[in-house]
């Protein structure tokens, strides 16, 4: 008891003395790492097909989580978690497979903003799953987001057109909204770390199975230094390091501020894409991205106030 009390005192002291601005910088860095992951994944998929890329990345995360948190994960692996594991695993797989395949044919910044629409759609997914009725502000945000997507799809001749990659990315935001809703429901019954592990495991198995049946087998091109560096960024940077910084930042920054900082992920994505991929940012893209970002902010601020 004395050791536990001493630990709690040290933890409390660390929490009080941790610089809030450093915590905000961590969250901003986290958003930048996630924003950069769209561009890095685009580079990596030149050599590695999308399902192989995600399968190795997710199962690698599973391995690390089991090594670090096996005392939490193993006791939770009972028949009761089977259905939740399948639900969150399949929806997570659907989210990532549509996003990565869509990313093959559209620019990283465009992908990031279309994916960000999940923030607007989540209240409606929650309405269907958890019977939590969305408010009027959610309807307003949805309309703003829809108008923003319209501007993104506006072509030079004034016509509206979305490519297959655009539609797959929009499907990503829809499926992700349901994935987050189911995670919120099941997290009340199971430890979040255990739930995250089974989600990654089920999705990883589906990714590898899909890769074996639909994609070329691994080859020597995967071992090119640039490809290995891209994968290390996705695994160590955008997954593990970003998650750690997010957890620390959320402990020292008010939720409303943290949400706004983290949703800058899509802004970083489009900046990096314009700088290093050559993504063309037209006036209609700027208007569309701005409207989608405004809708996301509206949804986040409203959600945090409730």
Residue 153 in domain: yes
Residue 16 in domain: no
- Segment 89-146, tens digit of pLDDT: 999 999 999 999 999 888 898 898 888 888 888 888 888 887 878 888 888 888 888 8
- Give the residue from 249, 247, 259, 253 showing the smallest Cα distance to 293: 259
Domain housing 245: 31-305
Burial of 38 (0-12, 13-18, 19+ CB in 10 A): buried
- Segment 280-293, tens digit of pLDDT: 888 888 888 898 88
Vertex 285: Cα angle to 279 and 289 (nearest 5): 105
Binning pLDDT at 50, 70 and 90, where does residue 278 land?
Answer: confident
Count of structural domains, the chain: 1
What phi and psi, each to the nearest 5 degrees, are found at residue 160?
A: -100, 130
pLDDT at position 17 is 67
CA–CA separation, 168 and 157 (whole Å) = 24
CA–CA separation, 99 and 165 (whole Å) = 8
Residue 73 in domain: yes
Residue 26 in domain: no
Residue 209 in domain: yes
CA–CA separation, 121 and 60 (whole Å) = 30
Residue 18 in domain: no
Helix (H, G, I), strand (E, B) or coil at 104: coil
- Give the residue from 42, 107, 41, 62 showing the smallest Cα distance to 208: 62
Give this prediction's pTM.
0.80
pLDDT at position 283 is 85
């Amino acid at each position: 008891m004395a050791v536990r009390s001493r630990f709690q005192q040290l933890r409390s002291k660390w929490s009080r003395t941790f610089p809030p601005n450093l915590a905000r910088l961590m969250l901003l860095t986290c958003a930048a790492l996630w924003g950069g992951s769209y561009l890095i994944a685009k580079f990596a998929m030149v050599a590695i097909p999308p399902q192989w890329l995600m399968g190795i990345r997710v199962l690698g995360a599973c391995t690390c989580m089991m090594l670090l948190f096996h005392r939490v994960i193993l006791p939770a692996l009972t028949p009761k978690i089977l259905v939740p594991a399948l639900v969150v695993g399949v929806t997570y797989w659907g989210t990532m497979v549509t996003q990565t395949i869509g990313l093959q044919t559209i620019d990283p910044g465009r992908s990031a903003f279309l994916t960000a629409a999940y923030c607007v759609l989540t209240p409606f997914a929650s309405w269907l799953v958890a019977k939590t009725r969305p408010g009027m502000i959610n309807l307003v945000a949805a309309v703003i987001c829809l108008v923003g997507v319209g501007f993104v799809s506006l072509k030079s001749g004034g016509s509206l057109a979305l490519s297959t990659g655009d539609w797959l990315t929009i499907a990503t935001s829809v499926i992700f909204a349901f994935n987050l809703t189911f995670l919120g429901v099941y997290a009340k019954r199971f430890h979040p770390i255990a739930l995250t592990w089974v989600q990654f495991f089920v999705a990883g198995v589906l990714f590898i199975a899909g890769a074996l049946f639909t994609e070329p087998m691994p080859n020597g091109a995967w071992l090119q230094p640039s490809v290995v560096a891209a994968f290390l960024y996705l695994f160590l940077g955008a997954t593990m390091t970003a998650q750690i910084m997010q957890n620390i930042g959320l402990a020292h920054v008010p939720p409303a501020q943290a949400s706004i900082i983290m949703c800058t992920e899509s802004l970083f994505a489009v900046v990096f894409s314009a700088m290093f991929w050559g993504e063309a940012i037209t006036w209609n893209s700027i208007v569309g991205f701005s409207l989608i970002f405004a809708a996301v902010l509206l949804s986040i601020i409203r959600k945090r106030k409730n």
